[in-house]
A = this chain, B = another copy of it.
Amino acid sequence: MTAQRQLKVGILGATGTVGQRFIKLLAQHPYMRTHVLGASARSAGHKYIDVVKWKQVTRVPQEVAQMVVEECVVNERWKQCDVVFSGLAEGDAGEIEASFRAAELPVFSNAKNHRRDPSTPLIVPLVNPSHLSVIPHQQAQHNLKKGFIVTNANCSTTGIVVPLKALEGAFGPLDCIVVTTMQAISGAGYPGVASFDIFDNVVPYIGSEEEKMEWETSKILGGVLPGEKGFDLHAESPLKISAACNRVPVLEGHTECVSVSFKRRPPPSPEQVKQALREFMCEAQSLGCPSAPKQAIVVHEEVDRPQPRLDRDDQDGAGVNVGRVRNCGVFDIKFVVLSNNVAIGAATSSIINAEIAHAKGMI
């Protein structure tokens, strides 16, 4: 492998759950390395190891442990960054990310704040990197040359849009989607869900989650309007989608039961669906992004898979697992999706998005 220029990376919200994931992933990245760690004013000025409540199963990377944390305020050090990742909580994310964009920095955000902006791409890297084409429009709007914001999707949305994209690619537009999720506690951050609430329990409600799944799916599966005026929100073939979101006592890995119907008659058979899912290739793969999974969708033939504990770490959680593809008594096809909410459902998505932008010469 030839020597590659190392990209300097800044991490907003570096002490939080998603921030820790960025640090963990970047410690092994072939060409990105952590350059600035941003956190609250209370943590700034201290060594990372002294302020972080590290919750990962690997140790804090040595090169990061002794770094002094900065505030999330643009300064000379931040300006040296080639890429900024944001793991900020939604309270702060909106304004801080905008200020970093205004400083001509490319921001890849895991927060929800800018996802609905008409000029901000909402990208699941295995699905719609083509939406990056809107960035010049976003930059023009903000009088910027290099700065931009790219968001990735909510963790529960990410799981379903990958197989849905594969199905639309193979069989044409979908008509209806009904999805019920069983989401892991890690999706709620830290401290997140109180143990007293979720032990021996299911909580059949996650605030705003169902709306997010329904809306984000349309944006991600939709196209880009001509003239880069924004997104078409799947306008040509509107999706009917209904989500029911539940929290279950699982640490990592969102399991989702999906039923779909196609516009095309007759619909594809379960075997055809499985083949289409297996053959699905995404741009992140063809661009050679190092964090992209070898196989975007792993299709399981065992009757009781995928399962979160056994399958969430396959391919380091960068792909999506599908199983139990079968006929549905009401719609055409039903199946089970498992995606790793802390990997492809969060930090891994941001990183692959940046890898794609880098491969396309945008950063």
- Kindly report how many copies of this chain are found in the complex they form together: 4
B residues less than 8 Å from A198 (CB atoms): 195
Q: B199 and A240: CB pair below 8 A?
A: no
CB–CB A242/B310 < 8 A: no
Asked whether A329 lies within 8 Å of B214 as measured between CB atoms, the reply is yes
Distance A336 CA – B214 CA, assembled complex (angstroms): 18
- Is there a chain B Cβ closer than 8 Å to A55's Cβ? yes
Contacting pair B55 A202 (CB below 8 A) = no
A178 at the interface (CB under 8 A from B): yes
Q: Any chain B CB within 8 A of the CB of A249?
A: yes
- A307 adjacent to chain B (CB < 8 Å): yes
Would A251 and B307 count as touching, CB distance under 8 A?
Answer: no
Cβ-defined partner of A241 (8 Å) among B201, B257, B330? B330
A314, B60: Cα distance in complex, Å? 12
Q: Give the CA-CA distance A203 to B203 in the complex, in Å.
A: 18
Interface residues of A in 19-77 (CB under 8 A from B): 55-59
Q: Which residues of B contact A251 (CB under 8 A)?
A: 196, 199-200
Binding site for B on A (CB under 8 A): 55-59, 176-178, 180, 182, 185-186, 190-205, 214, 240-244, 246, 248-251, 255, 257, 259, 303-311, 313-314, 323-324, 328-331, 334, 336
- Beyond the given pairs A202-B307, A244-B257, A248-B250, 17 more chain A to chain B contacts, judged by CB atoms under 8 angstroms and listed by A's residue number, are A176-B330, A178-B330, A191-B191, A191-B197, A193-B195, A195-B198, A200-B200, A200-B249, A201-B250, A201-B309, A204-B257, A204-B305, A204-B323, A204-B324, A205-B324, A240-B329, A248-B248
